[in-house]
């Protein structure tokens, strides 16, 4: 065989090999693209998992659980409405809106909480808001904002029905008490002031005004010290030693300070 024929033969074989390798390469790319397209075109299943809450997050959510109600009971001529119950750390917080009898500084003084038959003591209350009418004929709306009392007064409020909303506090209740039988019972309201509010509640200026017709020019003063609070006719006043004036001032002071309403306002919060 001649040399140029051999070269041509070898060149043809090499060319065929190159063509075969190239076709194999492009075939491989085409197959890969086809497979990728099939994956893209496949319907995507909804496999998004709900985020799992950590034990701390679950505990916080449980602590913030609130049940809302619209339960009303009338006893001793006064209406009381339970609006909500919630758990805050180890405490049960029950929010109630209730009717005020008159201008005195009424507050819920006796209440109890029963959970699956076990009774838990009343630890006190926090004021939320209310419409208050006072002995001097004025009226104001009070509300709490970050432990600060916001007060708005208007003569027109004297025509509205007075009320207050409180958050009653019961300590050391079971963490799952909202899933148990829950009964709250309120049995008494009184108007005797806390020691720090004695003079504010007594309001001797209004008492003196009420006495002016019978004892013109009378002046009273209130003193408030730890362990000892009281009032008196100002020294040097013409009625300072007047027994009738002292008796009348005492009657009005007792009326302001010593109010008590007993009844049974019972609510089943198990629903």
- 8 A C-beta contact, residue 134 and residue 210: no
Residues 6+ apart with CB under 8 A from 154: 139, 140
Share of the chain above pLDDT 70, in %: 76
Q: What is the pLDDT of residue 105?
A: 93
Domain ranges of the chain: 58-268
CA distance 25 to 12: 20
The position carrying tokens 């509205």 is: 160
Bridge-based pairing of strands 220-225 and 228-233 is: antiparallel
Q: Are residues 126 and 170 in contact, defined by beta-carbon separation less than 8 angstroms?
A: no
pTM, whole model, 2 decimals? Answer: 0.71
Predicted local distance difference test score (pLDDT) of residue 97 = 98
- Residue 17 above 90 pLDDT? no
Dump the DSSP string for 8-29: HHHHHHHHHHHHHHHHHHHHHH
Q: 131-190, pLDDT tens digit by residue?
A: 999 998 999 999 999 889 999 999 999 999 999 999 999 999 999 999 999 999 999 999
The answer to whether residue 15 scores a pLDDT higher than 60 is: no
**10, pLDDT greater than 80:** no
CATH class of this structure's domain 58-268: mainly beta
């Amino acid at each position: 065989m001649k040399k140029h024929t051999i070269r041509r033969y070898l060149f043809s074989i090499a060319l065929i090999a190159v063509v075969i390798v190239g076709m194999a390469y492009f075939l491989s790319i085409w197959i890969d693209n086809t497979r990728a397209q099939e994956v893209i075109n496949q319907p995507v299943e909804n496999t998004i998992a709900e985020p799992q809450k950590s034990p701390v997050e679950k505990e916080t959510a449980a602590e913030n659980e609130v049940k809302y109600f619209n339960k009303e009971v009338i006893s001793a001529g006064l209406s009381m409405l339970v609006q909500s119950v919630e758990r805050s750390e180890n405490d049960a917080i029950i929010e109630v809106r209730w009717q005020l009898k008159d201008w005195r500084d009424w507050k819920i003084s006796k209440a109890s909480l029963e959970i699956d038959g076990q009774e838990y003591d009343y630890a006190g209350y926090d004021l939320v808001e209310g419409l208050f009418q006072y002995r001097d004929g004025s009226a104001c709306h009070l509300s709490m904002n970050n432990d600060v009392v916001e007060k708005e007064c208007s003569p027109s409020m004297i025509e509205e029905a007075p009320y207050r909303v409180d958050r009653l506090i019961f300590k050391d209740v079971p963490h799952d008490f909202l899933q148990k039988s829950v009964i709250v019972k309120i049995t008494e309201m009184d108007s005797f002031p806390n020691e720090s509010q004695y003079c504010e509640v007594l309001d001797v200026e209004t008492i003196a005004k009420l006495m002016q017709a019978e004892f013109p020019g009378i002046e009273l003063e209130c003193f408030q010290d730890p362990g000892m609070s009281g009032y008196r006719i100002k020294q040097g006043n013409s009625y300072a030693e007047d027994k009738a004036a002292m008796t009348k001032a005492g009657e009005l002071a007792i009326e302001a300070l010593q109010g008590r309403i007993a009844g049974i306002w019972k609510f089943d919060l198990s629903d």
